[in-house]
Amino acid sequence: MGFVDDISDYRSLAIVGLEKNTGKTECLNYILRRIKDSADRFALTSIGIDGENRDQVCQTPKPEIIVPEGMIFVTSEKHYRERRLVAEIMEIDDHRTALGRLVIARAKTSGKVLLSGPADTAGLKSLIRHMKDFGVRTTLSGFGFVPFKPGVPHRYGGDGLSDGGCCFREYSGIGETYPLCL
């Protein structure tokens, strides 16, 4: 279980990309397949919307996110109602987004869901801290396209960098090395 243990060393792991359509969702789905036997140790959310079957900007097909049975996921009320899996609501958070309050749920079956979590990094950090209350060791977060800056890894436990399907085990910047766990 080296891969799962490596990821579990971090309180959070953000999947980021240098551009659109670089494989962030494919990378996330790969990780989800690898950790499915330990899904109850992980939570899943996103800043923005992840898991749609069509890119809203480029109008190109996209892979959907497949949440493994037992995993906690956090999404808006709107997208929770549209899920394609059986889930148990654990909490409805007081924080509001443009798509409603955040629903914290555990997948009772494997299936597809659109993720639309906290609207900003402060909300995401608060949510990651709260996940400990549910026994979560690591929160995985889709973060979309962001300019990759050397300071970003300090905000999260680790970062998964997806750039055209290339996966790096480390990112070196400004004299420091950040493990990426991929």
Per the listing, tokens 């004299």 go with: 175
Per-residue DSSP letter, 38: G
Q: What is the mean pLDDT of residues 117-133?
A: 92
Written in H, E and C, the secondary structure of 2-63 is: HHHHHHHCCCEEEEEECCCCCCHHHHHHHHHHHCHHHHHHEEEEECCCECCCECCCCCCECC
What is the C-alpha separation between 131 and 16, in angstroms, rounded? 21
* Per-chain mean pLDDT for the chain: 81
Q: How confident is the model at residue 169 (pLDDT cuts 50, 70, 90)?
A: very low
Sign of the four-CA dihedral 44, 48, 52, 57: negative
What is the C-alpha separation between 146 and 138, in angstroms, rounded? 21
Q: What confidence tens digit (pLDDT) does each residue in 37-85 have?
A: 999 999 999 988 888 998 878 888 899 999 999 999 999 999 999 999 9
Residue 162 has pLDDT above 90, yes or no: no
For the chain, what's the residue count? 182
Q: What confidence tens digit (pLDDT) does each residue in 100-111 have?
A: 999 999 999 999
Residue 23 has pLDDT above 50, yes or no: yes
What is the C-alpha separation between 78 and 51, in angstroms, rounded? 14
